[in-house]
């Protein structure tokens, strides 16, 4: 059976993508994840949800020989979905050398193995952070890239540029997916965002506050030039994000891509403010949040949201879940975590 290797497969989006691959395709799936910000416990949850086992290689992708051994052990691999990367904006500011080394070296090693083992289909996990502080909304794939504001975002931008040169010269086809703000969890309630380090993303902060893990949450600023003064973002359900990877992979394997290097935005196209997100959570769960409005946080842009018409047209990808459904699934996951602690 043909195999797909998912790097970072024990992480938030990686594990959900594995679940969707196992549910909706006939591929055998292999994970590579060294556990730096994830746990192999997710493999048991994947088995509970799908009824299928997934092998994870606990390998640091910055180690070329170790990465090469995984490819050698799986010669029937036909595609790569590359999530593995360090991703905290704040941590990248404090540890830029670590981020440049880890995110770039790991990508290079995986691409080198694709060359060596004739793997021609590659989905790369990029980010809307490559757009920097945009001057107009909504953001399309043609929006001019501004100066990025963190080493993390810079690694994604560098990776995109590097992949473009590689795609021009080698027989590998790439699809790059620029996510906006992935949220939510598996509809079973048994999988979701579970980083080793404390989360800073809005939705897990909301659910942790609602469940008492945090005493209160902070809303950074209510004086932005937005409809209610709080920052506006484009939240997208993690299942919809995973589905886009399946559709991108299908496009490459069938050879319906029109270029060896294609980029797609992944967002709903609907901006949701922080205060609107809080209200959606409270209405959906009937749980009141203890939150405090505090001054703006450095580095936050007022608003960013996507135009994802290209993905809809070329990938046939249409987001299925609204903000209340995102909050509902995230809450189910938080309750599941609490029940296991």
CA–CA dist 84, 32 (Å, integer): 8
Task: Give 250-289 as a DSSP string.
Answer: HHHHHT--SSSEEEEEE--S--EEHHHHHHHHHHHH----
Mean pLDDT of 220-233: 94
Phi–psi pair at 55, nearest 5 degrees: -85, 130
CA–CA dist 336, 341 (Å, integer): 9
**Is 37 or 159 the better-scoring residue by pLDDT?**
159
* Average pLDDT in the chain: 95
Mean pLDDT of 7-23: 97
**Is the pLDDT confidence value at 278 over 70?**
yes
Residues 6+ apart with CB under 8 A from 198: none
Q: What is the pLDDT of residue 201?
A: 85
Mean pLDDT of 23-38: 95
Q: How confident is the model at residue 186 (pLDDT cuts 50, 70, 90)?
A: very high
**Is the pLDDT confidence value at 177 over 80?**
yes
**Is the pLDDT confidence value at 200 over 80?**
no
Contact 315, 243 (CB under 8 A): no
Mean pLDDT of 253-272: 96
Mean pLDDT of 184-211: 89
Q: What is the pLDDT of residue 91?
A: 87
Closest Cα partner for 249 from 51, 10, 17?
17
Of the candidate CATH numbers 3.20.20.70, 3.40.50.720, 3.40.640.10, 3.30.499.10, the domain formed by 3-184+235-267 belongs to: 3.40.50.720
Mean pLDDT of 20-44: 95
CA–CA dist 249, 43 (Å, integer): 22
What percent of the chain clears pLDDT 90, i.e. is strictly above it? Answer: 86
Mean pLDDT of 134-158: 91
Q: How confident is the model at residue 197 (pLDDT cuts 50, 70, 90)?
A: confident
| Catalytic machinery residues | 152
Query: pLDDT (tens digit, 9 = 90+) per residue, 88-116?
Result: 887 888 999 999 999 999 999 999 999 99
**Is 63 or 201 the better-scoring residue by pLDDT?**
63
Mean pLDDT of 1-30: 97
Q: How confident is the model at residue 205 (pLDDT cuts 50, 70, 90)?
A: very high
Q: How confident is the model at residue 299 (pLDDT cuts 50, 70, 90)?
A: low
């Amino acid at each position: 059976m043909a195999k797909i290797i998912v790097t970072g497969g024990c992480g938030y989006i990686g594990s959900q993508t594995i679940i969707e691959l196992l549910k909706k395709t006939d591929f055998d799936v292999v994970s590579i994840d060294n556990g730096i910000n994830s746990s192999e416990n997710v493999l048991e949850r994947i088995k509970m949800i799908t009824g299928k086992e997934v092998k994870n290689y606990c390998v640091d992708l910055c180690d070329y020989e170790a990465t090469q051994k995984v490819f050698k052990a799986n010669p029937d691999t036909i595609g790569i979905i590359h999530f593995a990367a360090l991703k905290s904006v704040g941590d990248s500011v404090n540890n830029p050398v670590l981020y440049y080394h880890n995110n770039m070296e790991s990508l290079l090693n995986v691409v080198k193995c694709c060359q060596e083992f004739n793997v021609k289909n590659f989905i790369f996990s990029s980010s809307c952070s490559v757009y920097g502080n945009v001057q107009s909304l909504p953001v399309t794939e043609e929006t001019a890239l501004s100066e990025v504001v963190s080493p993390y975002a810079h690694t994604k931008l560098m990776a995109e540029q590097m992949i473009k040169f590689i795609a021009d010269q080698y027989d590998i086809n790439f699809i790059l997916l620029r996510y906006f703000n992935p949220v939510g969890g598996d509809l079973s309630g048994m999988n979701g965002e579970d980083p080793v380090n404390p989360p800073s993303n809005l939705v897990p902060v909301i659910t942790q506050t609602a469940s008492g893990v945090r005493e209160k949450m902070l809303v950074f600023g209510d004086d932005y030039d937005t409809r209610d003064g709080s920052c506006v973002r484009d939240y997208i359900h993690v299942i919809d994000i995973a589905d886009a990877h399946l559709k991108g992979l299908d496009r490459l394997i069938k050879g319906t891509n029109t270029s060896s290097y294609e980029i797609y935005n992944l967002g709903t196209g609907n901006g949701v403010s922080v205060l609107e997100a809080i209200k959606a959570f409270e209405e959906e769960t009937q749980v009141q949040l203890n939150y405090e409005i505090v001054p703006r946080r450095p580095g936050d842009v007022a608003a960013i949201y996507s135009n994802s018409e290209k993905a809809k047209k070329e990938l046939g990808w249409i987001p299925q879940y609204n903000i209340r459904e995102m909050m509902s699934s995230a809450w189910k996951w938080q309750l599941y975590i609490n029940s296991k602690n």
